[in-house]
Structure 1
Amino acid sequence: MSQPIRIGNEYLTVEVSPLGAEMQSLKTKDGRDWLWNGDSDYWTGRSPILFPIVGKAPDDHVEIDGHVYPMAQHGFARRTTFDLTASTPHMCRFELKASDVTHAVYPFDFLLALEHSVEGAKLTVAAEVENRGQADMPFGLGFHPAFLWPLPGAEGKPHQVVLDNGGEPALLRLEGGLIPTTLKDSPFKAGRLTVQHSMFEADAMIFPQGAGSGLTYGVEGGPLLHFTFENLPNLALWQKVGAPFLCIEPWHGMAAKAGAGLELSARPSTTILAPGGKARFAFTVELPA
């Protein structure tokens, strides 16, 4: 595997690996890294891209046009090497194109591009999906970045997730990795949630709708990270219980519904892209300058 690409400016330094086009580090000018380091004792991921599904498929299979294909949780892109197609001091772009290998599990001609760019103390990670085939193309796409918990300089202090819209979105808890028919009451109060490790004993906290297009993660009177989301209506929060990270995951797509079968296009929040169509999804995070 090729070495990571480094981009940056006077505020931020970012490293991105060709494997999965996955961010490996996100450092501020003081040298502190705000991204999880991928320690295998907990979780080897750091910021994987989820494509062409988000979450799990029943028995790890999907159905497309009457044919059944194997599909691992979160899809194949995160474990596939991308090609570097553009790079400047402040931006890098990696692309994954359909191949014989991808056709064996996902029979579409697609282009998936991941672009990381910095401007001031902001990092933007954008995904572009293009349908280069002749048939409608269903897919899910999600981001899965893991940030330190506690954040640098905030050890021993309570950390909060605060929604920009002040909402109290309903909570979804997976059952056997799939989406149940009922929702639970929101853990947010007036848009605020103090995160605790015990909240993740039942796996991820998923908010199918209503979390809005932005949030802040951090400590009152201490370090704060502000996120904005583009075309990403679903939100999940996750950690491996007791691990020193929190994943803030904006998605456009979710796991299959329990009892709903294998059909890919029937999964909640699935995008159906027409031939020649393009779709963009992005998140921006602003770090302490």
Structure 2
Amino acid sequence: MWKKKLYASTPLSTILLSTRILAKIHSPKHAPLLNPLLQISASCSPSPPPFVREIEVQFFPTSGGIFFGGPRFHKENFNLFVKKKNCFCSVSQSAEKLECWNCDAIADSPMPFLVCQACRSVQPVDHSIDYFQILGVERKYNIEVDKLEGKYKDWQKKLHPDLVHSKSQREREYAAEQSARVIDAYRTLTDPLSRAIYILKLENVVVDEEERITEPELLAEIMELREAVEEAESAQALNQIKAQIQGKMQYWCNSFEDALLNKNYEDAIASIQRMTYYKRANEEIIKKL
């Protein structure tokens, strides 16, 4: 009852300022860090309060800062606290691991977790997993495209509608979403232009593919290419033009990779814009062949 009366009648600042801290520092080198704490009462209260309550506070240095302990908190208890604290951290980290919605099994590795290894249930889409992780390749522009097909087919076998037709509606929906995402991942990473745009997206760089190029030399080259394609009368002539375009495309792919490695995003975007024009020209040739 007296505590309620004290809290009701006495401002909190007075209670705090009426406490003298008797510090017991377990590491002398941390004393300078604690001086401001020990001087709070003196700096905030111009005159001493009517009564002073003394408490002993022990300071223990830790890797994360300074731990405050009471007078009965012994060094042995502190060591035990640190060990327990580390245990709690490990539990917290394991709790962040992905769990199967069906059997609660924890994923062996956090990425990618498309299908549970324990019960084989298809998992919901996790958008934090990028396309490179889905197809099991390093996140970089220059990748071995031939290796993507094998991983793509493996995922589609696990996500095929025939394998989930007898499953619940929930899992069938998960399978449809995951399958669509795997298809998009494969199409994106196998195409040099789409892969370039996607990897910049992962770097939080927005690319406007429709931005017009105003360089006179490039515009003149594009016009010549279009005229050559329109005037070509044989497949041989078209294939020759196609080979030239592919050479130009490879040049700007290499230019993009260099810009990306140097984090020169302005040059990377310029390379993408040129790749876009050459890809369109190549598509026009394919239509005529």
TM-score, normalisation: structure 1? 0.21
Computing the radius of gyration over CA atoms, which structure comes out larger, 1 or 2? 2
The higher relative CO (CA closer than 8 Å, separation ≥ 6) is in 1
